[in-house]
Amino acid sequence: MARRDTAGRDTAGTVAFITGGASGIGAALSEALAAGAADVWIADRQVDVAEGLAQRLRAGGATAHAVALDVRDAAAFDAAVAETVRVSGRLDYLFNNAGIGIGGEVDALTLEDWTDIIDVNLRGVVHGVAAAYPRMIAQGSGHIVNTASMAGLITTSAQAGYSATKHAVVALSKTLRVEAAAHGVRVSVLCPGVVRTPILSGGEYGRNRTLSRENLISLGEALRPIEPDQFATAALRGVLRNQAIIVVPKWWKALWYLERLSPTLSMRTAAVALKRTREVASAPGQ
């Protein structure tokens, strides 16, 4: 069934380009959009995994394509979007979703860590905007959806690099939304709480300079992570309603409200979380 908002718009017949689309939130968004009869372009560094997902979606009657893309490559991003428009005729949605996580206190982060996370989480989004926004302006419509994080809305601990990039993505999205309205282009930013994705458990998409993989998973599970498909369903509902900042699950909004009401109290809350992280990291056998 197509996903429809209060204005009667839906995803049926639309063209959607999703970065990091082969796994986690990206795969869930790809599946949900395909279920809504969108023409889905799944872009990922793991093109074999993207092609596997595209084949599965096509087997179910959807229109889906796999695209090899490293979002750090601006020229490749522009070429991929150009090919999407050439083949499908337009671009209705860009989901700037690709991202990595690098955790640890600032004194544990290397310059390589900072370069990696800025290149993917921030420059990757900028590259997507640079590729899609002019084409959306030319067609007079479109919707750019950037994936940030609750870490882009609140004070965090032991994840300064990740939080810095996600705050930047929120700021970019808010400013671009104001500017893009005059061109008929919509902009939203997704701010997930904790979602059970590869970033949560480290590995290729994330590393942590403070915690072991087991402890990282344990602390993440304590924050009640939701499944990617649950996130995608709720997130797309917000996108179709043209919400500016989309927080999922909703209970995380309490922390966002706390940040806005009392930044000092929010920092104290982060200090408590940091104490807990340090305790876990320093426990015997860790």
Domain ranges of the chain: 15-282
pLDDT of residue 280: 82
CATH architecture of 15-282: 3-Layer(aba) Sandwich (3.40)
Please tell me the pTM assigned to this model: 0.92
pLDDT at residue 218 tops 70: no
**What are 259-286's pLDDT values in tens digits?**
999 999 999 999 999 998 888 877 765 5
Q: Let me know if 162 is a catalytic residue.
A: yes
Of 93, 133, 162, 205, catalytic: 162
- pLDDT grade for 225, boundaries at 50, 70 and 90: confident
**Amino acid residing at 136:** M
Banded model confidence at residue 32, pLDDT cuts 50, 70, 90: very high
Question: Residues 154-167: what's their mean pLDDT?
Answer: 96
pLDDT the model gives residue 197: 75
Phi/psi region, residue 100 (left: phi>0; alpha: psi -120 to 50; beta: rest), is beta
In the predicted model, what is the mean pLDDT of residues 3-18? 73
